[in-house]
């Protein structure tokens, strides 16, 4: 599959169809895979693909340092490809200008990351070129989607609040979670505004709670569960749990999973006459 | 002649210090018992009981000890609005003694390096007060990983800078104790046993690059064309800066309402887009490659030119914590190779 | 450096009774940014306003707070005073310490403390105010009237007579609406067509009116003063320019059996037809579904007979785009379809009345056609089943109206009056007949209305029974009407020859998609929503779109005509200016910061936000951004709430102001 990938990218660059390929590379076998940007056909041998290719490369489609390279091809796993669809719906990318190389994936990480246990997109769904063959997802993989949050929700509210206070007191406001997230593309994040100050920038419990809760809400109905935020956090905070709870709310209340259906309208800002209205009394 | 200490004695000492009301920080597994965790997270934190202390079994903690002298959030002073007048309320400086036990030498050396900038054109009383109150017991590293490069930047597993007491591991769960300062001697007084055994100083990681090669590249000019390609994958978060033992930039903000508030300082990172944003809207470092370039120059050229020490102890935290495995090491290796 | 002036009003003793205004003035003088604070008996009076103006000048004020009554009363007054002294009127804020304070709290200490807090908030707000200018929108001084019934006709004539161009769109082949099909109108018993057709002719001939009949509005773009409306003109298959309306074609047409919609299926018409003889325009249309040429490729008689060569079987639908500045919606009503259960429209039919089953059970509009001189029976009242003259007629009121169980909870307003009228018209034609009316109440609230009903009862002998009808059955060709007379206290069964049901008035078919195209709201019954039921009955919340007539709610002809003139008046107010001034307290996007996710565009209830591009001088795209249309935005703030990066804000009500107000309350 790696050969197929490298050949595909070599061809794309040689034909001039793209000016740069965003993919995974590695300096030496023991190093983790890192994002690489290949502009020359002879460099495609730098590309790698294995179960340590964690990064969600779609973030780079919002970075001007990468957009300046010209027409792009991008390697995406199934989970990353969902992010592409959300970006398209939110007018951040012009899909017709990007060559999407889908990588068939059976899961990353040793042991496999939590998100891979319930993955139902082993094969990226809307790629221009698909490389490799993945296994078919388990029939019940999708049903396990919210298992962790359902388990967590069995704890009492006091218990859960104590948990989050403990976890979030470690947050240092490095914003690694925001910077790796493809959905965080605002030119100036709300936390960086001070007229008015909506969220304290201080890494105190108050400032951290405000930041993480706001970010989770801004991702409601948009987060595709790539879990890069959880992996990136140097303070080991389980952001996956927070995002899962809102993803569950979006699916249960509106039947919506971001990045799955090209015809579905994003749920923030759209409405249908069938929407629940229990809050109107 | 040397002084020795057994591990169980360290445990007893820490217990005593805690009981005497001193604040003690050390490495701790902070997510023990969390069902969701995939790996252990070892951080330096304030200990509530000695059982929390974990001296070994890992390369180095994920965070650094700079927090004990340079907290991530610190009140500088308060202010109150009384009608049309404003009254300032000075902050209370801490008075409790602080001890850090089990610090890595790269973390302690960083404090020594930072002393210069915090006492340069302005003597930072907050930093200095905390520094005076702190005694640091370092533990020489018996392990390193591929991210460590202390030996390439003039540091090492037995670096003495910034340390008050250096412990070097000996077999049988014992340490050779070297008191490097008066503070250290005072702390250890009577706790050690004399011996003729000395510990072998660990070697540390192989050299990853030479400072000469690096210096040549940096001295050859600011606008080198290599910067964009070598820094392209950086996403501009602050993980490297905040887990770096020597990074010390801060942002001062007012937090309050109509009746008053406090002027505080928070950590800041040069990789944030907003770091050099002007009120006019202009940003002299609007590209990530410019920000990365500035970071390397600051640590390896500007700071040493001014203060005589590199602003880096090769701990490797930046690369370890970087979501895309950047930090400074890959950049240094690449640009040193270009000279 | 802020220099705010605070002016606290005693309002006589309205405020001062419960709020110690002098003490409040002393306290607020201490607030940061306040240059002067004083109290006065009547701030809105001339001396009060002069006081404000003096202080603006002498204290070099940069903003003022007036603490008095609700801004609805005098915000405009104080803004004018500030402007007169050279202070931008949008640097004026009010603290409502009357309706929100002195009128609802009676403990003086508490009320004073609250008043001080309200003023503190207003001071925090005004300190963040920016000078703003009203927004000037250009206006195309042409109007569109949708619907050619009596309301549409009246509105069109009023605007056209004032000298402006009007486009009238009517989906039937002729204007006239329901009124053209009525016999006589209450309370005068004027012949309906006689009073309407002169107006219709005026519309057809008016130099300022462009009439598109047999046409529908397809799409509406644009906003207040600048609408672009696409109208689809359906194919008539007759060239109206050549046709003279001589009638040879419809007289010769062999296809004569199509039920006539104008006669509510009580009569028939030809395939090529005008709906009624007085149609405007007097030009026929061909019904493809009845025409032998279209169905079988035969006939063609009309083309042969036509001496003007006006028949055109190849005619196609066409589109025309009209640019107008105002739209008047006058789409009128239809009757509630009685009969058995109907799915999907939330109403349950009155199957028990046998409508649709027994041919002699008809509704009120069908009865009008029977009575009409131009109707299918030439004005003779005859039973549809056997053509006999009915000697006993039962009229049933409130069929469908005022009935929560069946789905329409409102009163249709006109039925009591027209039922009385129907009894009179019946009795005037069938002198020996008996008219029974089963009613719940009599609603006759207009001028001479109650007298009219009295006349029906006392002079023309209509028999009124207060009670409802449970069931109608048919036996031996007669209708057995089982009801009750609650005033007598007994059930009452009437054997009738004809039953007329006063069916509920509903908005015309297809009004909801039209309303959505215009961004006009409508209620659960489909009636279009006015801006305010008492004070703004002909405006809608879509700026530049007005409503009149039965589409807004059940009403009779005098009210429809009055509303039509009112709507025309509102249009003429608009057209009285070359540019319209709108209040600037609307949304504005920070285009540098906007990430162009367009969530706001999706969410805006007024479709007031556009997707825009910013290009450099060479035409290269620099960035995309959302941009607020200043003509459409109503300042609701939905976009501000949704924007994740807070790149959009309401001028004069910014997030910073809201936070400042809240923080000032500590």
Q: Which CATH class is domain C137-227+321-332+508-582?
A: alpha beta
Instruction: Flag whether pLDDT at C349 surpasses 90.
Output: no
**Sign, Cα dihedral of A149, A151, A152, A155:** positive
| Average pLDDT of span C39-67 | 96
Residues B212-262 pLDDT 10s? 999 999 998 888 989 999 999 999 999 999 999 999 999 999 998 888 999
| Average pLDDT of span A272-281 | 77
CB of C592 less than 8 A from some CB of B: yes
- How many interface pairs between A and B have CB atoms less than 8 angstroms apart? 117
pLDDT score of A144: 87
pLDDT score of C356: 84
Instruction: Flag whether pLDDT at B267 surpasses 90.
Output: yes
Q: Chain A: nearest CA to B190, how far in angstroms?
A: 37
Residues C594-646 pLDDT 10s? 999 999 999 998 889 999 999 999 999 999 999 999 988 989 999 999 999 99
Q: What is the CATH number of domain C335-505?
A: 3.50.50.60
Q: Does domain C4-127 have CATH number 3.40.50.960?
A: yes
Report the alpha-carbon distance of residue A191 to residue B272 in Å, rounded: 12
Instruction: Flag whether pLDDT at C33 surpasses 70.
Output: yes
pLDDT score of C497: 97
| Average pLDDT of span C322-337 | 95
Report the alpha-carbon distance of residue A254 to residue A39 in Å, rounded: 43
| Average pLDDT of span C263-283 | 94
pLDDT score of C507: 96
Report the alpha-carbon distance of residue C542 to residue C227 in Å, rounded: 12
- Identify the band that residue A276 occupies on the pLDDT scale cut at 50, 70 and 90: confident
Would you say the CATH fold of C587-650 matches that of C4-127? Answer: no
Q: Where are the domains of chain B?
A: 2-338
What is the residue-wise DSSP string for C392-441?
EEEEEEEESTTBTTTTB-S--SSHHHHHHHHHHHHHHH-TT-EEEEEES-
pLDDT score of C1: 81
Classify residue A235 by its DSSP letter: T
Report the alpha-carbon distance of residue B274 to residue B289 in Å, rounded: 14
Helix (H/G/I), strand (E/B), else coil: B73:
strand
pLDDT score of B122: 93
- Would you state the CATH architecture of domain C587-650? 2-Layer Sandwich (3.30)
Q: What b/e readout covers C264-301, taking b as 16+ CB neighbours within 10 angstroms?
A: bebeebbbbbbbbebbbbbbbbbbeebbebbeeeebeb
Helix (H/G/I), strand (E/B), else coil: C50:
helix
Chains in touch with C (3+ beta-carbon pairs under 8 Å) read: A, B
pLDDT score of C357: 86
Q: Where are the domains of chain C?
A: 4-127, 137-227+321-332+508-582, 235-316, 335-505, 587-650
Report the alpha-carbon distance of residue C606 to residue C635 in Å, rounded: 10
Sort out which chain A residues have CB atoms less than 8 A from B38's CB and list them.
Answer: 111, 113-114
Instruction: Flag whether pLDDT at C535 surpasses 60.
Output: yes
pLDDT score of C168: 98
Q: C327, C143 in Cβ contact below 8 A?
A: yes
pLDDT score of A142: 81
Sort out which chain A residues have CB atoms less than 8 A from C596's CB and list them.
Answer: 91-92
Q: Do A190 and C645 touch (CB under 8 A)?
A: yes
Complex ipTM, two decimals? 0.92
Q: Chain A: nearest CA to B81, how far in angstroms?
A: 19
| Average pLDDT of span B27-35 | 82
Report the alpha-carbon distance of residue C362 to residue C359 in Å, rounded: 7
Helix (H/G/I), strand (E/B), else coil: C318:
strand
Q: C77, C49 in Cβ contact below 8 A?
A: yes
Q: Chain C: nearest CA to A96, how far in angstroms?
A: 17
CB of C663 less than 8 A from some CB of B: yes
Report the alpha-carbon distance of residue B156 to residue C240 in Å, rounded: 99
pLDDT score of B65: 96
pLDDT score of B239: 96
Q: Do C602 and A270 touch (CB under 8 A)?
A: yes
Q: C432, C392 in Cβ contact below 8 A?
A: no
Q: Do B83 and C663 touch (CB under 8 A)?
A: no
**Sign, Cα dihedral of B103, B109, B112, B113:** negative
Classify residue B224 by its DSSP letter: -
| Average pLDDT of span C318-343 | 88
Q: Does domain C235-316 have CATH number 3.30.70?
A: yes
Whether omega before A111 lies within 30 degrees of 0, making that bond cis, reads: yes
Residue of B nearest to A197 (CA): B255
Closest listed residue to residue C321, CA positions, set C230, C235, C416: C230
Report the alpha-carbon distance of residue C349 to residue C406 in Å, rounded: 7
Instruction: Flag whether pLDDT at C384 surpasses 90.
Output: yes
| Residue tagged 């504005």 (tokens) | C588
Residues A159-198 pLDDT 10s? 999 999 999 999 999 999 999 999 999 999 999 998 899 9
Residue C54, classified by CB atoms within 10 Å of its CB into exposed (0-12), middle (13-18) or buried (19+), is exposed
- Identify the band that residue B68 occupies on the pLDDT scale cut at 50, 70 and 90: very high
Tokens of A185: 């593309």
Interface-testing mutation among A64, A86, A91, with chain C (most C C-beta atoms within 10 A): A91
pLDDT score of B221: 85
Chains in touch with A (3+ beta-carbon pairs under 8 Å) read: B, C
Instruction: Flag whether pLDDT at C285 surpasses 70.
Output: yes
Instruction: Flag whether pLDDT at C407 surpasses 70.
Output: no
Strand partners, B294: none
pLDDT score of C344: 56
CB of C579 less than 8 A from some CB of A: no
| Average pLDDT of span C291-297 | 93
Instruction: Flag whether pLDDT at C341 surpasses 60.
Output: no
Instruction: Flag whether pLDDT at B270 surpasses 90.
Output: yes
Instruction: Flag whether pLDDT at B277 surpasses 70.
Output: yes
Q: What b/e readout covers A38-65, taking b as 16+ CB neighbours within 10 angstroms?
A: beeeebbebbbbeeebbbbbbbbbbbeb
Task: State how far the alpha carbon of A274 is from the alpha carbons of A222, A252, A278, in Å.
Answer: 21, 14, 12
Report the alpha-carbon distance of residue C508 to residue C571 in Å, rounded: 23
pLDDT score of C427: 96
- Identify the band that residue B268 occupies on the pLDDT scale cut at 50, 70 and 90: very high
pLDDT score of A32: 80
Residues C439-491 pLDDT 10s? 999 999 999 999 999 999 999 999 999 999 999 999 999 999 999 999 999 99
């Amino acid at each position: 599959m790696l050969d197929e990938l490298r050949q595909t990218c070599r061809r794309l660059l040689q034909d001039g169809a793209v000016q740069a390929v965003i993919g995974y590379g590695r300096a030496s076998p023991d190093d983790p895979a890192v994002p690489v940007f290949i502009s020359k056909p002879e460099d495609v041998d730098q590309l790698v693909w294995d179960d340590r290719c964690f990064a969600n490369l779609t973030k780079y489609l919002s970075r001007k340092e990468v957009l300046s390279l010209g027409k792009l091809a991008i390697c995406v796993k199934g989970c990353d490809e969902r992010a592409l669809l959300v970006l398209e719906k939110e007018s951040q990318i012009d899909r017709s200008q990007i060559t999407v190389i889908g990588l068939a994936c059976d899961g990353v990480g040793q042991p496999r990351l939590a998100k891979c246990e319930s993955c139902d997109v082993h094969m990226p769904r809307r790629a221009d070129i698909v490389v490799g063959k993945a296994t078919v997802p388990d029939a019940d993989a999708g049903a396990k989607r919210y298992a962790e949050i359902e388990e967590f929700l069995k704890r009492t509210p006091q218990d859960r609040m104590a948990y989050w206070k403990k976890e979030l007191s470690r947050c240092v406001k490095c914003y690694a979670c925001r910077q790796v997230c493809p959905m965080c593309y605002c030119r100036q994040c709300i936390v960086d505004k001070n007229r008015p100050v909506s969220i304290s920038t201080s890494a105190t419990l108050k400032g951290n709670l405000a930041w993480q809760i706001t970010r989770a809400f801004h991702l409601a109905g948009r987060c595709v569960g790539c879990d890069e935020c959880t992996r990136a956090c140097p303070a080991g905070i389980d952001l996956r749990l927070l995002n899962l709870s809102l993803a569950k709310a979006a699916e249960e209340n509106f039947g919506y999973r971001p990045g799955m259906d090209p015809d579905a309208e994003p749920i923030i800002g759209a409405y249908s006459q069938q929407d629940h209205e229990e809050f109107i009394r | 002649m040397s002084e020795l200490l057994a591990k169980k004695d360290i445990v007893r000492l820490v217990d005593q210090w805690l009981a005497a009301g001193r604040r003690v920080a050390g490495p701790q597994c902070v997510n023990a018992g969390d069902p969701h965790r995939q790996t252990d997270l070892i951080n330096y934190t304030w200990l509530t009981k000695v059982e929390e202390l974990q001296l070994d079994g890992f390369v180095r903690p994920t965070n650094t000890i700079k927090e004990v002298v340079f907290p991530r959030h610190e009140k500088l002073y308060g202010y109150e609005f009384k009608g049309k007048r404003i009254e300032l309320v000075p902050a209370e400086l801490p008075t409790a003694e602080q001890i850090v036990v089990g610090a890595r030498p790269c973390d302690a050396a960083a404090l020594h390096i930072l002393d210069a900038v915090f006492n340069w054109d302005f003597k930072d009383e907050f930093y200095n007060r905390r520094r005076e109150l702190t005694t640091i017991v370092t533990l020489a590293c018996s392990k390193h990983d591929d991210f460590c490069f202390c030996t390439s930047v003039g540091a090492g597993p037995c670096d003495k800078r910034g340390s008050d007491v250096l412990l070097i591991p000996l077999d049988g769960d014992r340490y050779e104790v070297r008191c490097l300062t008066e503070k250290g001697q005072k702390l250890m007084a009577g706790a050690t046993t004399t011996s003729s055994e000395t510990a072998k100083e660990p070697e540390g990681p192989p050299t990853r690059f030479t400072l000469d090669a690096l210096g040549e590249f940096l001295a050859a000019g600011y606008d080198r064309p290599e910067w964009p390609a070598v820094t392209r994958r950086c996403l501009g978060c602050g993980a490297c800066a905040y887990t770096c033992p020597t990074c010390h930039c801060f942002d001062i903000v007012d937090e309050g309402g109509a009746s008053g508030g406090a002027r505080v300082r928070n950590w800041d990172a040069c990789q944030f887009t907003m770091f050099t944003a002007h009120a006019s809207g202009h940003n002299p470092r609007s590209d990530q490659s410019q920000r990365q370039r500035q970071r390397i120059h600051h640590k390896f050229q500007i700071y040493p030119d001014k203060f005589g020490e590199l602003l880096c102890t090769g701990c490797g935290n930046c690369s370890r914590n970087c979501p895309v495995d950047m930090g400074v090491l890959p950049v240094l290796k690449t640009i040193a190779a270009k000279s | 450096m802020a220099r705010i002036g605070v002016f606290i009003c005693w309002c006589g003793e309205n405020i001062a009774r419960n709020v110690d205004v002098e003490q409040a003035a002393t306290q607020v003088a201490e607030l940061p940014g306040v240059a002067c604070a004083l109290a006065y008996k009547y701030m809105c009076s001339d001396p009060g306003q002069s006081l404000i103006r003096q202080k603006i000048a002498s204290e070099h004020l940069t903003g003022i707070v007036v603490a008095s009554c609700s801004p609805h009363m005098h915000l405009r007054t104080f803004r004018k005073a500030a402007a007169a002294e050279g202070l931008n009127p949008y640097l004026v804020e009010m603290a409502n310490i009357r309706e929100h304070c002195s009128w609802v709290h009676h403990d003086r200490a508490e009320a004073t403390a609250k008043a001080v807090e309200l003023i503190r908030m207003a001071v925090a707000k005004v300190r963040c105010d920016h000078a703003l200018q009203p927004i000037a929108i250009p206006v195309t001084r042409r109007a569109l009237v949708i619907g050619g019934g009596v309301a549409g006709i009246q509105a069109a004539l009023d605007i056209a007579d004032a000298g402006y161009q009007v486009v009238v769109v009517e989906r039937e082949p002729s204007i006239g609406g329901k009124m053209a099909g009525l016999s006589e109108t209450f309370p005068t018993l004027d012949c309906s067509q006689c009073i309407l057709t002169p107006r219709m002719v005026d519309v057809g001939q008016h130099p300022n009116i462009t009439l598109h009949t047999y046409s529908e509005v397809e799409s509406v773009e644009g906003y207040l003063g600048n609408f672009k409306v696409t109208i689809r003109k359906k194919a008539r298959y007759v060239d109206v320019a050549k046709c003279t309306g001589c009638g040879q074609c419809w007289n010769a047409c062999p296809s004569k059996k199509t039920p006539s919609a104008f006669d509510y299926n009580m009569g028939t018409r030809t395939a090529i037809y005008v709906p009624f003889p007085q149609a405007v325009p007097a030009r026929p249309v061909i019904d493809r579904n009845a025409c032998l040429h279209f169905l079988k490729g035969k006939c063609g008689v009309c083309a042969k007979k036509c001496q003007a060569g006006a028949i055109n079987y190849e005619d196609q639908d066409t589109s025309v785009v009209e640019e107008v500045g105002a739209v008047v919606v006058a789409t009128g009503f239809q009757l509630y379809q009685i009969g058995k259960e109907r799915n999907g429209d939330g109403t349950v039919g009155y199957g028990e009345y046998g409508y649709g089953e027994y041919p002699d059970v008809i509704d009120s509009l069908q009865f009008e056609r029977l009575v009409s001189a131009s109707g299918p029976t030439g004005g003779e009242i005859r039973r549809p089943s056997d053509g006999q003259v009915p000697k006993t007629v039962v009229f049933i009121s409130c069929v469908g109206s005022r009935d929560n169980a069946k789905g329409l909870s409102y009163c249709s307003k006109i039925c009591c009056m027209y039922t009385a009228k129907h009894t009179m018209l019946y009795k005037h034609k069938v002198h020996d007949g008996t008219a029974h009316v089963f009613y719940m109440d009599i609603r006759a609230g207009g001028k001479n209305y109650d007298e009219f009903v009295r006349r029906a009862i006392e002079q023309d002998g209509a028999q009124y029974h207060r009670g409802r009808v449970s069931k109608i059955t048919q036996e031996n060709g007669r209708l057995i009407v089982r009801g009750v007379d609650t005033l007598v206290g007994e059930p009452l069964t009437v054997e009738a020859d004809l039953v007329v049901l006063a069916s509920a008035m509903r908005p015309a078919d297809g009004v909801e998609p039209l309303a959505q195209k215009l961004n006009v709201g409508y209620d659960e019954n489909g009636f279009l929503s006015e801006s305010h039921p008492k004070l703004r009955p002909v405006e809608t919340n879509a700026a530049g779109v007005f409503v009149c007539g039965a589409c807004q709610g059940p009403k009779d002809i005098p009210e429809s005509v009055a509303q039509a003139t009112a709507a025309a008046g509102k249009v003429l107010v608009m057209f009285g200016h070359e540019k319209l001034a709108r209040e600037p307290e609307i949304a504005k996007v920070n285009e540098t910061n906007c990430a162009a996710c367009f969530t706001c565009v999706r969410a805006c209830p007024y479709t007031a936000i556009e997707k825009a591009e910013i290009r450099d001088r060479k035409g290269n795209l620099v960035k995309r951004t959302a941009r607020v249309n200043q003509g459409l935005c109503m300042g609701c703030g939905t976009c501000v709430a949704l924007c994740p990066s807070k790149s959009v804000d309401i001028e004069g009500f910014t997030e910073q102001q809201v936070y400042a107000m809240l923080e000032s309350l500590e």
